[in-house]
Structure 1
Amino acid sequence: MKKMELKDKVVLVTGGSAGLGAEICYAAAAKGAIVVTCARRINLIGKVKERCEELSGKPAYAFQLDVADPESVAACLEKVATEVGPVDILVNNAGFGIFENFADFNPKDITRMFEVNVLGMMVLTQQVVIQMLEDKRCGHVINIASMAGKMATPKSTVYSATKFAVLGFSNALRLELKPANIHVTTVNPGPIQTEFFDKADPSGQYLASLGNHVLDPQKLAARIVRSMEHPVREINRPGYMEVAARFYTLFPAIGDFLAGGIFNKK
């Protein structure tokens, strides 16, 4: 497949204020892309925008966005269309998790997690895809899912459910958009060293228990941006968790043993 040059391509990243989202913005900017970083925290995305401009030598953009609010999505996309232009690559990175026993879960947190991780992502993606189809342009949608969507573990009931939904949505969307030459990539990472865990696990015990098995967001971002140049179906990291996820599907009893034991660090 011919390499897609990222120079002057418009790359929109949700959840782009920090962590993996910010690193994706920087890696894309370094390749010459026009980066649009979107998140709720306007003070942080402004700094990401400035860094992207330094890396790319061209304008970058920062727009406030709450993906769970359809009005915010519409307003953000209107600004992108007016001030930037058509989106070539959409990275759905916004999301959060809470690791807690399901019996103790606050119902409001369940609703909010689905609104952010699934429903809002779908609303935004639909609007971007409609424009891609109308323009008859080659495009790319990259959805940040999770290994939790392939292999659920204790205390990840709601988070895993949202990521299973992202995987199902992405797999069907990939087939629908293939004839239009619009690619869909699903990224399934294990634990990443980001502030995601400030909310997911405030105690810090989970990350501490993983030691060197935590992913580096900069390295993962570089891999994701390479997939913008050479689209792939999935990116699964780390490799041993992908093997475990395959085991989980092929050998359910062994899968439950692994998910509830070796890979249960929460």
Structure 2
Amino acid sequence: MLENKVVVITGASSGIGALTAKKLSQQGAYVILTGRSEARLKEAVSGMPGKYETIQMDIGNAEEVKAVVHDIEARHGVIDVLVNNAGYGVFENFLDAPPERFQDMMDVNYMGIVRTTQAVLPVMLKQGFGQIVNIASIAGKMGIAKSSGYAASKHAVLGLTNSLRQELRGTGITVSSVNPGPIDTPFFDQADPSGQYVKNISWFVMKPDYVADRIVHLIKKRKEELNLPRSAAAGMRIYQLFPRLMDKVLYRWLDMK
């Protein structure tokens, strides 16, 4: 089903991006890994089982993104799947965070998706098919203490994803969101340098292999939304129905940073 499909992944130099790339390659996809660091991209493709290429690309530079996408289309003639994975988080008290931190997280986590999607979407519209997969977060549906900047950026990602999904109905293009809880990846090296948060929620942290497998399944089945883990997904639905009540009940449990 994924044989020879051209899949572009941003933020593919480590973590879920790199692992998902390998799993897609195992399924026969032609994977194009992009990221800012050429050296880290070379490390990420070590042991890659199938066809791939790496392209240095900064999602913060709209002109560079357009040039890379144009080159991919010129050489391959098609882009079947775009996985918008690039992003980062920093967990800190709202008043301790400089405004520039909010701005940068929004620029990377949200505007990065805007730039890549605006570059790739015309290609998909022209070919009449495709899938855009935005890696958001459970934090985009339920904000918690000390993650205001990160949660706000992921709320924006989900707002964009849901709106674009409706806008593209009938075009042959699927727009998907992946909303994971905490994953055991290098994400926390920057988000939680003390390691305290990860220690407190160690029982809840998902294995990267599990998450990457579920992302591949979403792509194969062209599903529109994936919330992980299932227990968090169920709790999130209850929270959205009774936000005031759940805030009172859960705020101490959720504040583990």
Sort the Cα spacing of 1:212 and 1:180 in 2 relative to 1 into closer, same or farther, 3 A. same
1:47 paired with 2:39, answer no
1:9 paired with 2:5, answer yes
Query: Of residues 14, 18, 31 in structure 2, which corresponds to 1:18?
Result: 14
Q: State the alpha-carbon separation in 1 of the partners of residues 106 and 158 from structure 2.
A: 14
What are the ranges of 5 or more consecutive residues in structure 2 without an aligned counterpart? none
The answer on whether the counterparts of 2:86 and 2:112 sit within 8 Å (CA) in structure 1 is no
Q: State the alpha-carbon separation in 2 of the partners of residues 246 and 31 from structure 1.
A: 33
The answer on whether the counterparts of 2:35 and 2:55 sit within 8 Å (CA) in structure 1 is yes
Sort the Cα spacing of 1:160 and 1:81 in 2 relative to 1 into closer, same or farther, 3 A. same
Sort the Cα spacing of 1:74 and 1:46 in 2 relative to 1 into closer, same or farther, 3 A. same
Shift of 1:259: 4.8
TM superposition outliers: structure 1 runs of 4+ over 6 Å? none
Residue 246 of structure 1: aligned partner: 237
SS of equivalent residue, structure 2 residue 163: helix
Output the TM-score relative to the length of structure 1: 0.92
Sort the Cα spacing of 1:118 and 1:76 in 2 relative to 1 into closer, same or farther, 3 A. same
Query: Of residues 99, 103, 110 in structure 2, which corresponds to 1:118?
Result: 110
Cα deviations by residue, 1:89-120 (Å, 9 ceiling, x for unpaired): 00000001110111111222111111111112
SS of equivalent residue, structure 2 residue 174: strand
Q: Aligned AA for 2:99?
A: P
Q: CA RMSD in A?
A: 1.4
Query: Of residues 75, 83, 89 in structure 1, which corresponds to 2:67?
Result: 75
The answer on whether the counterparts of 2:7 and 2:32 sit within 8 Å (CA) in structure 1 is yes
Q: State the alpha-carbon separation in 1 of the partners of residues 190 and 43 from structure 2.
A: 22
SS of equivalent residue, structure 1 residue 180: coil
Residue 101 of structure 1: aligned partner: 93
Q: State the alpha-carbon separation in 2 of the partners of residues 95 and 145 from structure 1.
A: 9
Q: Aligned AA for 1:36?
A: I
The answer on whether the counterparts of 2:184 and 2:208 sit within 8 Å (CA) in structure 1 is yes
Sort the Cα spacing of 1:50 and 1:87 in 2 relative to 1 into closer, same or farther, 3 A. farther
Query: Of residues 251, 254, 257 in structure 2, which corresponds to 1:263?
Result: 254
1:223 paired with 2:191, answer no
Q: Aligned AA for 1:177?
A: L
The answer on whether the counterparts of 1:244 and 1:255 sit within 8 Å (CA) in structure 2 is no
Q: State the alpha-carbon separation in 2 of the partners of residues 51 and 140 from structure 1.
A: 26
Residue 127 of structure 1: aligned partner: 119
Residue 152 of structure 2: aligned partner: 161
Shift of 1:198: 0.8
Sort the Cα spacing of 1:184 and 1:258 in 2 relative to 1 into closer, same or farther, 3 A. farther
The answer on whether the counterparts of 2:110 and 2:157 sit within 8 Å (CA) in structure 1 is yes
Q: State the alpha-carbon separation in 2 of the partners of residues 76 and 258 from structure 1.
A: 48
**Count of aligned positions:** 257
What are the ranges of 5 or more consecutive residues in structure 1 without an aligned counterpart? none
